[in-house]
Amino acid sequence: MTLAPPLQLNVGDASRIEASPFGAHALSWRCQGRERLYLSPRASFGEGKAIRGGVPVIFPQFGERGDGPRHGFARTAAWEPLDGPGTGAARLAFRLRDDEHTRRHWPHRFEAELALEPGENRLRIALSVRNLDEAPFEFSAALHTYLRVADIAGTLVQGLEDRPYFDSARGEQVEPTDAPVRFEGEVDRIYPGTRRVLRVTDGEQMLRVESEGFADTVVWNPGAELAAGLADLGAGEHRHFICVEAARILEPVRLEPGAGWTGAQHLIVEETLR
């Protein structure tokens, strides 16, 4: 399979989004003249390999919570471009339908759409799924968003202080800490039933993160030890990103025949601190 070239859409003079039909994968979001997403300099762009960074689309399963490929097949599938440069639409959009390959891993007929809708100081990423089958099905989904930060040592995620979480790195449930999330070593957490507004600060910028349709939030950074073993990342690169993911994991989405679901994540630049 030859990978289709990425699509770009300019928004004014200082903003731009770029996405690949491979995985409907957002690769870059420049907003107000600054890059807001992280893409590994060693990211792979080969058939069957997920791209490290940007916004991978996780569907129809999260991690190994299912019988299919880890994090599902959507992030390594070829999506059909719908909207983009030359269409007159102010967004990039891609569509994925079931085929022989997807049905080997997940035996359901479906249609999924991923839309990237930029604004002057924001980006809305929306995933929609429709059940084209004759029976109900369930799925999990997430937008595995890599946010670029100046340095994780000074990065905080606020808005989760009152929520318990499952620590996936240690395999244990943890009660609320009443403190913002800091990044000291590996962080791999699933927060259920999260509030809509989160704030990410790193000493240089403040980013507001909101979601709709997604019940959970995943916060992840591999830490130095795990990052050193990731061939598509590189030494020290873990210091320049955190993942804040809008997710539906602990209670999967159930769709009746003909029904649809949409979940979205909003990234909003609130303030430049430096």
Q: Tell me the C-alpha distance between 226 and 25, whole Å.
A: 24
For tokens 């800091």, the residue is: 182
CB within 8 Å of 229: residues ≥ 6 apart: none
Q: Tell me the C-alpha distance between 55 and 26, whole Å.
A: 5
Q: Tell me the C-alpha distance between 204 and 183, whole Å.
A: 16
Other Cβ atoms less than 10 A from the Cβ of 238: the count is 23
Whole-Å CA distances, 196 to 123, 192, 217: 16, 12, 10
Alpha helices (runs of H) in the chain, residue ranges in sequence order: 100-105, 223-228
Q: Tell me the C-alpha distance between 247 and 190, whole Å.
A: 9
CA geometry: angle 250, 253, 259, nearest 5 deg: 175
Active site residue 144: yes
Query: 144, 238, 240, 266: which is the annotated catalytic residue?
Result: 144
Give me 250's structure tokens.
């602990």
Q: In a 3-state reduction of DSSP, which class is residue 263?
A: strand
Q: Do 77 and 110 contact (CB within 8 A), yes or no?
A: no
Q: Tell me the C-alpha distance between 26 and 7, whole Å.
A: 9
Query: 71, 108, 245, 266: which is the annotated catalytic residue?
Result: 245
Catalytic positions are 144, 245
